[in-house]
Structure formats: structure tokens, C-alpha cells
Amino acid sequence: MDFKFTEEQVQFREEVKEFVTTEKEKGIFPFGNNCWMHLSSMEFSKEVAKNGLIGIAWPKEHGGRGMGYVDRVIMLEEMFRAGAPVAYHFMADRQVAPGIIHFGSDFLKKEFLPKIRNAEVCFCLLFSEPDAGSDLANCRTTAVEEGDYYIVNGQKVWTSNGHIADYGWALVKTNLDPAVSRYNAFSEMVIDMKSPGVTVRPLINSAGAHSFNEVYFDNVKVPKEYLVGTKDNGFRQIMTNLDFERAGIERLMQNSLTLDSLKDYVKTNDKGGKPLSQDPLIRDSIAKLEIEFEVGKLFIYYVASLLDKGKIPSYEAAMGKTFCTLYEAKLADVATTLMGLPGLLMPGSPEAPCNGMACEDYLWSPSYTLQGGVVEVLKNIVAQRGLKLGRKKK
Amino acid sequence: MDFNFNEEQQMVYDSTKKFFEKETSGTLLRELMEDDKGYSPEVWKKMAELGWMGLLFKEEYGGFEGSFLDFALILEGMGKSAMPSPFLSTVILTGLIIQDNGSEELKKEYLPKIAEGECISTLAFLGRKGLYSKSELELEAKQVNGGYRISGAASFVPYAHVADNILCAAKTTDSEGVTLFILDGKAAGIETINLHSISGKGVDCLVNFKDVQATPAQIVGEAGKGWEYIEAQWPKVAVALSCECVGGMDRVMEMTLNHVNERIQFGKPLSALQVVQHMCVDMAMKLETSRHTAHYAAWQVNEGLDCTKEAAIAKSWCGEAFKVVTKIGHQLTGGIGFSEEFDLFLYTRNAKKLELLFGDGSFQRAIVADNIGL
């Protein structure tokens, strides 16, 4: 056991901090909560790219910096602490590029890795469908070979940033033989969102924001070289990728500004002449949040350390995401309650503390325990893969 | 960052586990709950032979100058076994307080004995209300003819009835604050009364002091600074107790998983039911998060870093987690889990006790609140 960061890591954290502070002080980029889902700025992402902060964990031969996952968590911790608007490049950096590096052809690597690293393209994920949420293998969007192309038909939904993305990373059915197991029927492919036949329709989420979309495919032609990895092996590829998706600190810190503003609020507001921060119940409630945050953070670093050792953290990542998203949902709830009636004021309202951040966060919070696998599905994964429960007895 | 044990730590962990598997039995644990002594002198002796008592002492006082991480892993093994002993009260609450603050004479007198397993000792510093607060102290030391007379009561003193020495915290009339005196456990005027607590009949004591004599040479460190000396050990104690919780949770998890995998209802094992699986995952999350939190704080202690906040986080988190884990364990093991023949109740009791010892969740959270600028 050695929990010390290396000197390089300490220095790297300082670099990132300095970068983020400088960018924030420019006052031109939209810093805030839910920054990886909702705050997209190509200009900011290009600054990130210029500073070599996209692709840090990719191998050097693919244009990355060959750094580790712990390093990546350090970087993201500092970015999320400030609410940096990373949405434009986030999915591509976290998930698409590692997918291409693991499974993709040389063509795909050459075509997309430099563009992703330079923040020239935005990717969205095209997984969920109306009848395929937790049961992802129930997807119905098809891709049928025709000459040098696949012809894609179907519908995806809850597509975050589908309206700004240049490309989509899609799970499509390529084997329509009903006798074939559905886990052997899918492929992963890149789809150009500007292709004829792609229609993106906005969905407004229950917080009142346009963050996700419906995406329709009507005879969309996708060049065959955009297929990622092995045909019909997509479901397994995606499951491996999900372990990376679930390992991140974004699941702990997408609303970390709320905790800061809550601490600030109780220090600067008083009840009966005494700061709220001296009320024992309020202190206890905030200390509880602080403790869960620190416990969750340690767990995220643990999962990253597993990845750095070359292990696939299948159930550990699921456990980490479960823990962290439950914390996030709680944070928004506790913050609004402790602030009292002012905690109900929305961004832009007169009198709203911290510009209504807590209230807005509360409205976003149901999504935390849903996106990227609902808590209950994640618990199934931990039970089955981690605790080996529910297997047939010999 | 490396969360895994190194070779030495793995060895300590494995050998501790093996030791307790050999030395502990359900029968012995049940006997000890009824036993007047409340611990097993045979096991105590063997623990000393393994060098555990002197692990944290300097070599010149018969110790090994070992790592606090190893110490923490031993505590984890102890928690897993549920074996009661005066280990913490002797090693940290007396030994380390003397090592860190005592005169050369006191160190030479007491530490080698403790390291050898020849001295059981304890700390008397709580009043009858059991509150961890200087102002609740009920012992007073009056200066008489160049010496002291200590009177009053201390409660929740572990193993006072079998202690060779009692380190007692008393308010002194000649100085502000609290002074620590190291006393002979059988000194004239000391009366120990066994309390029957959640962990048995021979562990906690009420100790009455009636004009117990002490000389200035029996003062540990400076007069008037005793409470600060105790507080300085707080993070170590908190981490040690957290590690005990981790071990305990680990065992409860094992016995519960065993049960749900073996027990057939509706024609299949309980573990085939999703609701049962999710409860098991809740336990596993408590255990895994507690493990990292406790190890991280132990590492901080070992590195000599200020870990007031991290130790409080660990104790608050692990203490409450252990209790929750025993509750889920009971819900999943049903009638058999509630019976005396099943070992779970041993852990249910330990968990409740560990939750409260050296500050419950809210006590620790107050420390955290202080440390984040609230």
C-alpha cells in the first residue's frame, strides 16, 4: 500500500490547475455543473487540446501521452472541481478513442485519433433505443451490408449532445438471423451525423434543458471501413468499453460546485445572529457529504489504479459508479434542503443563492443514477461478476 | 498509487488470519463473554510472542519500530476473529502515550514489559456518562505533602480489573488541565467493578479511586497536559478501530454469502433472488469503501502526516458501515442468524461497540466539519 502521488503527478496536477484557472478567468467559457454532459465549447476544447490534455492516457504510438489512468483522474478531478466545459471532446476522449485504439482498424485510427486529440470533432454515443435501455441487447437498429456500405435503419434515444456531434458511436444489429444469440448479433460503428437520412430531434429533459435527443436513421449509408473491430462482436466490445466509461470521476464530481456553494452559503448566512455553519445539525449534514465525497474519490482512484495495473475493473467500476452517483443525487437534495426556501430559487431568479445552482442540480439529479447504467443494473453486475451470486449450483 | 499489499503486508495479513483461525473458536468466544477476565491469557501470551505488543515501540524499549500499516492489518485480523483482548488499551492507550510523552525512566520501566506481554494496562479517562470530553472527567488529584491523592470515579475502563497498570487522567488542583498518572492496578484505594456490557461481563469496568497515592515520578509527561496527550493518540486509535471494523465486516460478509448460497427456498438458493443480490452488494460496497478508507488513513499515520480529518472520516464511515453490514446480515440470515449458535451475534455486538468507541459517527463528523472550515 502506498497512496502517495509521484512527484510528476503532483506537478501534473498543478499544471492542470493552472490551466483551468487561467481559462476560467478569461470569463468567456461556460463553467458550471454537469459540464461533461451539458457545457460544450469547441473553443475551450481546443485550448485543452493545445495544452496536451486530450488523449493523455492513450499510448504514445497513437498520439497520446502514454500516461496512466490515475493521471487521467488527477486531470479530471481538477477540471471538474472548476466545472470546466469539457462536453465537446469528453465522450471522444473517454470512450471513442480507447474503443478505436482497442478494436479499430488502422484506417479508423488514422482518420479519427488526430481529430479527437485536436478537438476537431465531437462524438455522441448511439446506444439506447426506445425498447433497449437497461436491456441493451434488445436494440433494433439494423445495419445491412450493401456493396461498400452498411445501410442503417432505426432509432436511438437519450442521445446526449446528438445535436452538436459530428459523429456518432453506434451499436447496430448486423446479424439478423433469429437463430443467432443476440449477444453475437451486434457491431459497433462510427456514423457521420451529417449523412443523408440522419434526423436529430431535441428532447427537453426534466430540468428544462436540451441535453439529449432522439436520432432517426432512414437508409443511412455508412462506409464499411467505419465498422469498428469485428463484425457481430460489438456487444462484447461495448461491455469492455463500459467498464472504462463507468470508472470515471465525472460520476462523483459533475456537481461538485454545489458542495462548494453549500459550504459557502452556510458560512455567509446566519440564523438568529449565528452563522448557519455553527448549527450542529447543519455541520453534521455537510460533514456527511464531505465524508461520502472523500470515500468515493478514494474508490475512483482505486479503480484507476487497477486499470494502470492492466486489470479490467468490471465489478469495481460498477461499484464505484453506484456509490458515487448515489452520493451526487444526495448532494443536490441535502443542499437544497439546508438552504431552505432560497434553495428553491432557479438560476436567473432574483435572490437565488449561488445563482440557483443547488435547485438546478436537484432537477438534474434523477439522471445521475440512470446514465451509463442504472444503479440496479450495476448492482446486478457487482452481484454476478464480483460476488458470484446467482450462479447455478453444481 | 498502489492500493495493494506489498509482500510484507501480505505476509502480516495472512499470518494474522492464520493465527486467529487457529486460536479462535466459537466456543472460546462464547466462553469469554461470560468469563470474569474477559480475555484469554493463553492467546495473549502467543500474541506477545509474535511481537505484536512491541511492534510500534522503539528498539531501545524492547520494540520493533514496525510499520503502522502492519499494525493496522493485525487489528483487521483481530476484528475479523472477534477475539477480545486488552490489546489497544495496553499498546496505544498506555504504551504509545508513555513512549511519546513519558520520562526516560517510565519508558524503560513500562515499555519492555508491555512488549513482552508481561503487562496489561488501560486508560481511565471517562466519567460515568461515558462522554469523550475533558469537562466530564470525574477524577481529581489533590496535592498533599509533595505527592498526590487521586479520588473520584472513572467508567468504561476496559480490563481495569485485570490490569497491572492503570493510566489515569485526573484534574489537578495545582495546574490547569488534566494530568496523567501511571498507577499500579492494585494500588490501595482502587476498586474495580465489572460492568456487564454488550461485549460481555469481563471487559468494561467502573473504577472507584479513594485517596490513591501517587508521586510526581508517576506523572506521564508534563502535569496539566494529559488531555492533549490523549487527543494526540486519537487518530491512531480511530484508525485502529476502523481496521477492526473492516475485519469484522469481512467476516460477516463471508458468513452471509455462505448462507444465501446454501439456503434453498422456492426451489433455489436465496442468492438467485435479485433483491437478495442487491442487499449483498450493499454490504460489499460498505466493506470495500471502508477498507480503502481505513487503509488510506493508516497509511497517513504511518507517513507521519496530519490525518485528523482522514482518521475521523475512517472512523465515522467504518463504524457506521460495520453496523449496517450486521443489520443486512441479520435480515439475510433470518432465524438462524438470530440464534446463539450462529456466530453473527458476536459481530453484531462488536459492531455496535465499535460504532461508539472513541466517538460515534456524529462525533467524528464534528471533527471533519472543523477541518473543512465550517
The 3-class SS string of A135-176 reads: CHHHCCCEEEEECCEEEEEEEECCCCCCCCCCEEEEEEECCC
| One domain, residues B34 and B106 | yes
Domain definitions of chain A by residue range: 7-121, 125-233, 246-386
Question: Final residue of a domain: which of B224, B250, B278?
Answer: B224
Which residues 356-385 on chain A approach chain B with CB closer than 8 angstroms?
376, 379-380, 382-384
Residue B277, in any domain of the structure: yes
Alpha carbon B327 to its chain centroid, in Å, reads 22
CATH class entry, domain A125-233: mainly beta
- pLDDT for B56: 97
| Interface contact flag, B9 A1, Cβ < 8 Å | yes
| Interface contact flag, B1 A382, Cβ < 8 Å | no
- pLDDT for B373: 93
Quick one: closest CA in A to B320, which residue? A288
| One domain, residues B106 and B155 | no
- The CATH number of the domain where B292 resides is what? 1.20.140.10
Question: Final residue of a domain: which of B98, B119, B140?
Answer: B119
Residue B39, in any domain of the structure: yes
CA distance A254 to B237: 35
Residue pair A252/A296 in contact (Cβ under 8 Å)? The answer is yes
The verdict on B122 touching A (C-beta cutoff 8 Å) is: no
Mean pLDDT, residues A279-302 = 97
- Measured between beta carbons, the chain B residues lying within 8 angstroms of A376 are 278
Given a cut of 80, whether residue A29 has pLDDT beyond it is yes
- Shortest CA gap A198–chain B (Å): 39
CA distance B238 to A227: 55
- pLDDT for A394: 45
- pLDDT for A241: 77
The residues facing B191 across adjacent strands are: B208
- pLDDT for A393: 54
Residue B320, in any domain of the structure: yes
| One domain, residues B237 and B213 | no
Residue pair A338/A286 in contact (Cβ under 8 Å)? The answer is yes
- pLDDT for A375: 95
| One domain, residues B255 and B367 | yes
| One domain, residues B163 and B84 | no
Q: DSSP per residue over A173-186, as a string?
A: E----TTS-GGGSE
Residue pair B351/B322 in contact (Cβ under 8 Å)? The answer is yes
Torsion of CA A354, A358, A359, A360, to 10 degrees: 90
Q: DSSP per residue over A207-247, as a string?
A: TS---EEEEEEEEEEEEGGGEESSTTBHHHHHHHHHHHHTT
What are the grid coordinates assigned to B112, written together? 519492555
Residue B2, in any domain of the structure: no
| One domain, residues B127 and B217 | yes
Query: Do the strands A212-223 and A149-156 form a parallel or antiparallel pair, or are they unpaired?
Result: antiparallel
The verdict on A302 touching B (C-beta cutoff 8 Å) is: yes
Residue B314, in any domain of the structure: yes
Predicted confidence band of residue A240 (pLDDT cuts 50, 70, 90): confident
The verdict on A277 touching B (C-beta cutoff 8 Å) is: yes
Report pTM.
0.94
The domain tally of chain B equals 3
Query: Do the strands B147-158 and A198-203 form a parallel or antiparallel pair, or are they unpaired?
Result: unpaired
What amino acid is encoded at B215 in this protein?
Answer: T
Given a cut of 70, whether residue A27 has pLDDT beyond it is yes
Of A291, A305, A383, the CB nearest to B2: A305
| One domain, residues B152 and B218 | yes
User: From its phi and psi, is residue B221 left (phi > 0), alpha (psi between -120 and 50) or beta?
Assistant: left
Phi then psi dihedrals of residue A34, to 5 deg: 55, 35
User: From its phi and psi, is residue B93 left (phi > 0), alpha (psi between -120 and 50) or beta?
Assistant: alpha
| One domain, residues B144 and B107 | no
**What is the domain extent for residue B332?**
228-371
Q: Which stretches of chain B score pLDDT less than 70?
A: 174
CA distance A69 to B103: 49
CA distance A65 to A52: 8
| Interface contact flag, B369 A284, Cβ < 8 Å | yes
| One domain, residues B242 and B344 | yes
- pLDDT for A373: 87
| Interface contact flag, B313 A393, Cβ < 8 Å | no
Q: Note the ipTM here.
A: 0.92
Question: Final residue of a domain: which of B81, B101, B119?
Answer: B119
The residues facing A275 across adjacent strands are: A270
If you average pLDDT over every residue of chain A, what do you get?
A: 94
Q: List, in sequence order, the alpha helices (H) in chain B.
A: 7-23, 26-34, 41-49, 68-81, 87-90, 97-101, 104-116, 226-262, 274-303, 308-337, 344-356, 361-371
- Shortest CA gap B245–chain A (Å): 16
Residue B1, in any domain of the structure: no
- The CATH number of the domain where B197 resides is what? 2.40.110.10
The verdict on A287 touching B (C-beta cutoff 8 Å) is: yes
Residue pair B217/B105 in contact (Cβ under 8 Å)? The answer is yes
- Measured between beta carbons, the chain A residues lying within 8 angstroms of B292 are 295, 298-299, 302
Residue B281, in any domain of the structure: yes
| One domain, residues B78 and B18 | yes
**Placement of cell 439529449 in the chain:** A212
| One domain, residues B100 and B53 | yes
CA distance B168 to B80: 30
Mean pLDDT, residues A323-343 = 96
What amino acid is encoded at B192 in this protein?
Answer: T
- pLDDT for A371: 87
- pLDDT for B93: 97
Predicted confidence band of residue A392 (pLDDT cuts 50, 70, 90): low
- pLDDT for B94: 97
CA distance B92 to B238: 11
CATH, range A246-386: 1.20.140.10
Window from A242-246, A352-356, B172-176, B209-213 with minimum mean pLDDT: A242-246
Q: Residue-wise over B339-349: b if at least 16 C-beta within 10 A, else e?
A: eeebbbbbbbb
Of A323, A379, A390, the CB nearest to B289: A323
Report the percent of chain A where pLDDT is more than 90: 92
Phi then psi dihedrals of residue A339, to 5 deg: -75, -20
Q: Which of A373, A301, A297, A284 is nearest to A328 (CA)?
A: A297
Chain segment A74-104, per-residue pLDDT in tens: 999 999 999 999 999 999 999 999 999 999 9
CA distance A244 to A241: 5
| One domain, residues B236 and B284 | yes
Chain segment A184-194, per-residue pLDDT in tens: 999 999 999 99
CATH, range A7-121: 1.10.540.10
- Measured between beta carbons, the chain A residues lying within 8 angstroms of B281 are 319, 322, 379, 382-383, 386-387
